[in-house]
A and B are shown apart, each in its own frame.
Chain A
């Protein structure tokens, strides 16, 4: 069965510092992987997604993620965080049943707090 683990419930970093949010997945097939962000009182917004090709995928607002098949990981990174990056970040894997629509399996989320 597919699953996603985000081991860090909460991460606090100083503005301008670099960031890594961890995500581990379990999948019997090559996974589609996603990172979403949720700002207060808003819906989830897609940051980036990955299926194949270059294991480092670029997303919006300077975010990138690196896929590692050997480590079953899809960690999210940003070189320099801004206070406006404070939000909850969700890693997800997509499971599809041929034509019936897909469903996302989510991790528990990581609350990022950026200190000024």
Chain B
């Protein structure tokens, strides 16, 4: 099936530094998402993105977070500065359309550890 790639698979970073998580979505998809999963907890929605804009974000999407997809390249999640509580697995997803029934395709996740 369609593949979403995420780079890197693991990232260790010191608290206060900046980190950028990269997502290569399915090529013809138009909607992009980030989810966060803290170890042992459920995956939670962070943000969705369409047509160059954030459409909706959750309370977990702090001011230190930003997303963009410049010129149809990677869809990125940037955290600046990082905090200890940002340690989690971050999953990217994409979908062709934005309706409730439209399937989101997920990447394998980036495991972020903030020290």
**Interface on A for B, CB 8 Å cutoff?**
4, 32, 34, 36, 41-46, 49, 51, 90, 94-97, 99-109
With a CB–CB cut-off of 8 A, which chain A residues contact B74? none
Q: List 19 A-B contacts (CB under 8 A).
A: A32-B100, A43-B6, A43-B108, A45-B1, A46-B103, A49-B103, A90-B43, A96-B98, A96-B100, A97-B56, A100-B56, A101-B95, A102-B104, A103-B33, A103-B48, A104-B43, A106-B43, A108-B42, A109-B43
With a CB–CB cut-off of 8 A, which chain A residues contact B49? 101
What's the Cα separation between A25 and B53 when bound, in Å?
A: 30
Output the least CB separation between A31 and chain B (Å): 8
Task: For the complex of A and B, list the 6 residue pairs with the smallest distance between their C-beta atoms, beginning with the closest.
Answer: A101-B98, A43-B106, A101-B48, A44-B106, A96-B100, A100-B55
What's the Cα separation between A85 and B44 when bound, in Å?
A: 24
With a CB–CB cut-off of 8 A, which chain A residues contact B56? 97, 100-101, 103
What's the Cα separation between A95 and B105 when bound, in Å?
A: 16
Give the size of the chain B interface in residues (CB under 8 angstroms): 34
With a CB–CB cut-off of 8 A, which chain B residues contact A106? 35, 42-44
Output the least CB separation between B8 and chain A (Å): 13
Chain B 41-62 near chain A by CB (<8 Å), digits 1 or 0: 1111100111000011010000
What's the Cα separation between A105 and B104 when bound, in Å?
A: 12
Interface of A is mostly: strand
| B:20-48 near A, CB below 8 Å | 31, 33, 35, 41-45, 48
- Say which residue of B102, B103, B108 sits within 8 Å of A42 (CB atoms): B108
With a CB–CB cut-off of 8 A, which chain B residues contact A96? 98-100
With a CB–CB cut-off of 8 A, which chain A residues contact B105? 43, 46
Known: A44-B106, A97-B55, A101-B95. 13 other contacts (CB 8 A): A4-B42, A32-B100, A32-B101, A34-B103, A43-B4, A51-B101, A100-B98, A101-B31, A101-B48, A104-B104, A106-B42, A108-B41, A109-B42
